[in-house]
Amino acid sequence: MKSIVHVIGARPNYMKIAPLMESLKVRSPFRQVLVNTGQHYDDIMSQAFVRDLGLPTPDYDLGVGSGSHAVQTATVMIEFEKVCQKERPDLVVVVGDVNSTVAASLVSAKLLIPVAHVEAGLRSRDRTMPEEINRIVTDRLSDLLLTPSADGDTNLIAEGVPAEAIHRVGNIMIDSLLRHLPMASLDRIRERIPVVDGPYAVLTLHRPSNVDDADVFTRILTAVRTIAESMPVVFPVHPRTRQRIREFGFDGNFAGIVLHDPLGYIDFLSLTSHARLVLTDSGGLQEESTALGIPCLTLRENTERPITVTHGTNQIVGTLTDAILEGFRRASSPAAPQRRPELWDGQTADRITRVFCDFLSR
């Protein structure tokens, strides 16, 4: 029996692998192996995501943990090579743009194991972002490039990738979102987070460029405090961000902002799906808010997901206080109804399964 090894390293990976593993289980004859590198090393949160998404217990947990980009990538490579030598898979599946993704791709390519990259072709054109380097390298090493939207195809063709290696399958994050949306009621979280059915905003921040620079962080918080005068702002705080808040002495800078610990997948979907506005530096939340039709202000200077701007609800507002507030004013105005981008329909995992069946049968 042919085997497929799936690699997850950070929590956004979980939402992409879960529907694919379920589809392959139902519709293919392949043996599946799940490897968790442990790049996101909060055990409680990781277990919550595995439970919420119905993922099986990983067959391997590499326990990589934190470290510099070089240390984390190198450690994943050392440990993942052992898995590949033991399992001898016919295909390795990597998702997204984290360090685990590029590390597993490098190991597989050097062992002559085919690589499939789910969410291929995304580009921000900003090489100061470590994720951009990971995306470029992973796509160069991959045999199957599974793109979420037409811009991904265009980027890859411009970079010389053969057209026959590119498969536009849609956005697999939306598979997970649509599957779990019926469970995502405000009642799930109301006792823990004081939200009501009226308007409120959700804020997430985790990128080093935003939270490691006290001046940038201050500009963002100044804008968010002003927005909080119009509607409550709920802020599930990433561990890295909470550490910076303590280091910078920002504990008193959150008037009108409700701080909370990170949430599991369905609880967070319960929070965001009922919000009036999202402010974020996350790529995945740009996509989810577009699928939900909720205005999103992206606190970055660029995005690797331009379809969320051209076809969705996203505005790229940067980190200057006035620009964020101008984006808030635009988002508060009535907007034309938005349609989900093509193939963001909850069927992406099944399309990927068909690609894998065809590839491995050859």
Number of domains, the chain? 2
- If you average pLDDT over residues 305-331, what whole number do you get? 96
CA distances from 126 to 130, 272, 284, 316 (A): 9, 28, 17, 14
pLDDT in the model for residue 362: 86
What stretch of H or E contains 22?
Answer: helix 11-27
269 is a domain residue = yes
Q: 10 Å Cβ neighbour count for 39?
A: 25
- If you average pLDDT over residues 27-46, what whole number do you get? 84
Asked if the model's pLDDT at residue 284 lies above 90, the reply is yes
pLDDT in the model for residue 64: 87
175 is a domain residue = no
58 and 12 inside one domain: yes
pLDDT in tens, 75-132: 999 999 999 999 999 999 999 999 999 999 999 999 999 999 999 999 999 999 999 9
147 and 211 inside one domain: no
pLDDT in tens, 219-270: 999 999 999 999 999 999 988 899 999 999 998 878 889 999 999 999 999 9
pLDDT in tens, 165-176: 999 999 999 999
18 and 99 inside one domain: yes
178 is a domain residue = no
The C-alpha atoms of residue 126 and residue 7 are separated, in whole angstroms, by 25
204 and 124 inside one domain: no
128 and 254 inside one domain: no
251, two tokens: 């504990």
227 and 306 inside one domain: yes
The CATH number of whichever domain residue 116 belongs to comes to 3.40.50.2000
267 is a domain residue = yes
Q: 10 Å Cβ neighbour count for 166?
A: 21
The pTM (predicted TM-score) of the whole model is 0.94
102 and 216 inside one domain: no
pLDDT in tens, 132-151: 999 999 999 999 999 999 99
Q: Which residue has the higher pLDDT, 153 or 42?
A: 153
100 and 221 inside one domain: no
Strand ranges (E), 254-346: 257-260, 277-280, 296-298, 314-316
Q: Which one of 206, 238, 260, 311 is the catalytic residue?
A: 206
- If you average pLDDT over residues 155-163, what whole number do you get? 98
328 and 195 inside one domain: yes
pLDDT in tens, 179-194: 999 999 999 998 889 8
User: Which value, to the nearest 10 degrees, does the dihedral of the CA atoms of residues 226, 247, 318, 328 take?
Assistant: -20
Q: Is 206 known to be catalytic?
A: yes
349 and 227 inside one domain: no
Write out the residue range of the structural domain in which residue 22 sits: 3-170+344-361
205 and 316 inside one domain: yes
The C-alpha atoms of residue 341 and residue 5 are separated, in whole angstroms, by 29
With contact defined as beta carbons under 8 Å apart, do 241 and 211 qualify? yes
164 and 223 inside one domain: no
